[in-house]
Amino acid sequence: MSYIPIKEYPSILISLFIEEVLNDIVKIYEETAEITIREAFKPDLKNIVEALDERSYCELRLQSSFSRNTKLYFHRVHKPDGIHVAFDFDPNTSNDSWKIAEDAKKTFRQKTSEYLKAREIILA
């Protein structure tokens, strides 16, 4: 899969990044990674927002059915309409060009984009 700039990752205005959005993004991650994250290991919105303020990104190693090193990324991105949170899925397999890794990245980005577009329409 070719490189995609962070500004092109699926994103939402940071002011719209609430617990419900985080939970839905995690559900998309779980579906894509083919796993269920135990409640005790679910990401915490407050910690993610703090990391975005401190370092402009947050990396969570949540695993997948095909790699123990699969990650969910949150990035702070400046766009013309304001500061966004962008989301990405990193299969982090030994060979990310492996078909399952490429498919997972594509699926996560597509499902996340569709979800965020629908979410923004609801909130508009």
Determine, yes or no, domain membership for 1.
no
Q: In terms of C-beta density within 10 A (0-12 exposed, 13-18 middle, 19 or more buried), how is residue 44 classed?
A: exposed
Residue 99 has pLDDT above 70, yes or no: yes
Determine, yes or no, domain membership for 54.
yes
Determine, yes or no, domain membership for 14.
yes
Sign of the Cα pseudo-torsion (113, 114, 118, 121, in order): positive
Determine, yes or no, domain membership for 29.
yes
Determine, yes or no, domain membership for 100.
yes
- Structure confidence at residue 32 as a pLDDT band (50, 70, 90): very high
Check if the beta carbon of residue 59 is closer than 8 Å to that of residue 73: yes
Number of domains in the chain: 1
For residue 119, the enclosing domain spans 8-123
Overall average pLDDT of the 42-69 stretch: 90
Determine, yes or no, domain membership for 3.
no
Determine, yes or no, domain membership for 30.
yes
Full-model pTM: 0.88
Residue 1 has pLDDT above 50, yes or no: no
